[in-house]
Structure 1
């Protein structure tokens, strides 16, 4: 093979890596309870204003008190690496050790609790808006896990309105997002330079991306699409709480103490063919809490939580997963349920920290996620929607975020 051919092959692979979309990396089994939040938003998908702080915490259950390090990278609107060099978006240094950690206290499960806040004495600020990924590495410089976050500036007012679908076939099952962007700055050629992303219930994996303005009225940008900005409405999340390990709380049928506590949840039944019933949820989120603790971060214990779902005929041959923010809405072998033909149920056991949890059951075939196969889709479902507005001026080298809007389907209209 000639030198020239080898050069072109190497250039192709480097170029492909540089421009491919980067996804989050989920942690190994011994890393649990990753909580990532801003200083004002507890959604666990930080979308913070420029200058605000973010905090990420996690537990390591291997008991080794290992050192962990963090690195921060900047990305374009489509999560491909941006052209910015690190000093252009970060003041100070990353690749620093996480120095704030404590060991668990008075728990059956031993763990170390790590907390990182940015800015800090080393990473003094993130200087530009846009998409970011924070990656956590171990002593051997091996990637342990990564999480996405966004920083914006308030350069545009973003109105978000929820409507029912215009398509009569889905009028009872879908929710449509209408957007009005009123910029505070002059936008050049907005139909090409402005892109919007809609995120439902803080789940980036189901976000609708790269939406361009449908039309303009003066300087305002209008989005009144139907199919392009419609989501399956889903249903309210199921929930349980085990903030007191010695008593069966909401959603828990009974408990046992073995090597650790075990919480056996009531067996859930599919809700796709029964009428919609409203009961408040926290849109797939979770919170850590031990009623008897002064500091739940290090005094909340880990509990084996037993999930079970009654299997109907349409589910028996499906791949069913337990789904929620507690596992970063992951679809993998760690969240896939097993099927027990004798009892005709799906079951899964997960090790979770004490607290209050939202969850639901979903199915996936190949790359198609079906959130409604068990829970159903009902236009009345209360969902939270965030709209992020990206803008890249002509000649600019990165996508800035110029606005954030939020809406809820509580008062959805036709």
Structure 2
């Protein structure tokens, strides 16, 4: 009878957690004044938020609040399954410590035209750490418990290895536009009761969740190797190298910057004019594969001394795209269609234009053509080419028979 009651109570806790969620289980910023959200291993900002058990390099989360007043933010961590749904676990199953701790690392900007408060959080820390591998969601809440930021991160307990080979697409219509991977997983010494049903892999291009290939099961086993279907390989559009700009220095024009206008209360940067690249010849460009790096060459105050800059974009277009909008997206926007990044059409000059606020740094971006249903198309304005250099992230999950959560037992990065 006692055991039945315990199970019943745990079920109620799980239902309560699902019901009280007022946030998205994805990377998202909920309020306009929050800018420059970054999450990465400590001292390694080009990388993504992946914590490897055994390596134990902590993660560094940061953001700015342009309201420029001190606020009491709190943070919580949730374990998710491979589909980014809340796991069937109670908090004590996966956390050492308790959710709801106050975010204490903050400092005001120094000698910047637009003032802000910069917040930092190191995870794990003395108050909270995780016990299990898998997908996790970090949620930042304000004083009224409203979500202001959600950010995904991964905790991997490395148990397996991955073999990857790039092959020409088997579909001849995609020979020059797509990149295809053939993958297999080496289980090494790990015992898996039912590999064909318990193991699944997901693949991300440039750590972009919006168009990954998810939850693919192996087709057959050869010794300790799990093989996946070679006739339907992991195929992705190659796109083109990212557009980028560099505003780390404001003393001179840098990469793809046309002009810099420094005023007493604001700084305006105009980028070089851009064109539709769909159908244009492929050119290799220096990029960060969609990521961005905050930094400045002109301040001794680090993250608190970087200026916020109004960056002007222009995209040539003889006429507006019917029933479509154009957005500027990339890692800096969590690949979300934020209204601030929407372009407007200037009929007099035949341009799409936008002014977007960026903190000093190096940024990659794409133009996205978005229909009335919110579906976006990157190829329409960027094109796609099979020789583009991309990073592919392979995630290996296992849900053992009778288990209540998905373990992340493999994480690998492969360059095309």
The corresponding residue for 2:352 is: 346
| Conserved? CA contact 1:165–1:226, under 8 Å | no
Distance 1:312 1:236, change over 3 A: farther
> Offset of 1:246 from its aligned partner?
3.4
The corresponding residue for 1:114 is: 119
* Helix, strand or coil at the partner of 1:88: helix
| Conserved? CA contact 2:70–2:117, under 8 Å | yes
1:170 has 2:177 as partner: no
The corresponding residue for 2:8 is: none
Tell me how far apart the structure 2 counterparts of residues 179 and 65 of structure 1 sit (CA, whole Å). Answer: 49
Distance 1:227 1:313, change over 3 A: farther
Instruction: Output aligned runs, 1:37-48, within 5 Å.
Output: 37-39=40-42, 42-43=45-46, 45-48=48-51
Match of 1:285 among 288, 291, 301: 291
* Helix, strand or coil at the partner of 1:63: coil
Tell me how far apart the structure 2 counterparts of residues 231 and 368 of structure 1 sit (CA, whole Å). Answer: 17
> Offset of 1:383 from its aligned partner?
0.3
TM-score with structure 1 setting the length: 0.91
Tell me how far apart the structure 2 counterparts of residues 392 and 288 of structure 1 sit (CA, whole Å). Answer: 38
1:22 has 2:25 as partner: yes
* Helix, strand or coil at the partner of 2:341: coil
> Offset of 1:44 from its aligned partner?
5.4
1:270 has 2:276 as partner: yes
| Conserved? CA contact 2:45–2:293, under 8 Å | no
The corresponding residue for 2:392 is: 385
The corresponding residue for 1:241 is: 246
Tell me how far apart the structure 2 counterparts of residues 111 and 383 of structure 1 sit (CA, whole Å). Answer: 34
Q: Which runs of 5+ in 1 are unaligned?
A: 1-9, 410-414
- Indicate the RMSD between aligned Cα atoms, in angstroms: 2.3
Give deviations 1:102-154, integer Å, cap 9, x for gaps: 1111111101110000121211x211000100000111111111000111111
Instruction: Output aligned runs, 1:11-410, within 5 Å.
Output: 22-39=25-42, 42-43=45-46, 45-50=48-53, 51-123=56-128, 125-184=129-188, 185-225=190-230, 227=232, 229-258=234-263, 259-312=265-318, 315=321, 317-365=323-371, 366=373, 368-409=375-416
Question: How many residues are paired up?
Answer: 398
Tell me how far apart the structure 2 counterparts of residues 275 and 314 of structure 1 sit (CA, whole Å). Answer: 23
Tell me how far apart the structure 2 counterparts of residues 252 and 179 of structure 1 sit (CA, whole Å). Answer: 41
Distance 1:91 1:378, change over 3 A: same
Q: Which runs of 5+ in 2 are unaligned?
A: 1-11
> Offset of 1:314 from its aligned partner?
8.3
Tell me how far apart the structure 1 counterparts of residues 244 and 71 of structure 2 sit (CA, whole Å). Answer: 33
| Conserved? CA contact 1:21–1:79, under 8 Å | no
TM-score with structure 2 setting the length: 0.90
Tell me how far apart the structure 2 counterparts of residues 82 and 14 of structure 1 sit (CA, whole Å). Answer: 13
Tell me how far apart the structure 1 counterparts of residues 127 and 31 of structure 2 sit (CA, whole Å). Answer: 27
* Helix, strand or coil at the partner of 1:334: helix
Tell me how far apart the structure 2 counterparts of residues 61 and 15 of structure 1 sit (CA, whole Å). Answer: 31
Tell me how far apart the structure 1 counterparts of residues 50 and 203 of structure 2 sit (CA, whole Å). Answer: 13
Distance 1:42 1:216, change over 3 A: farther
Give deviations 1:248-284, integer Å, cap 9, x for gaps: 2221111223431010111101111111111221101
Distance 1:367 1:61, change over 3 A: closer
| Conserved? CA contact 1:197–1:387, under 8 Å | yes
| Conserved? CA contact 1:160–1:405, under 8 Å | no
Tell me how far apart the structure 2 counterparts of residues 236 and 115 of structure 1 sit (CA, whole Å). Answer: 31
Tell me how far apart the structure 2 counterparts of residues 203 and 212 of structure 1 sit (CA, whole Å). Answer: 21
* Helix, strand or coil at the partner of 1:319: strand
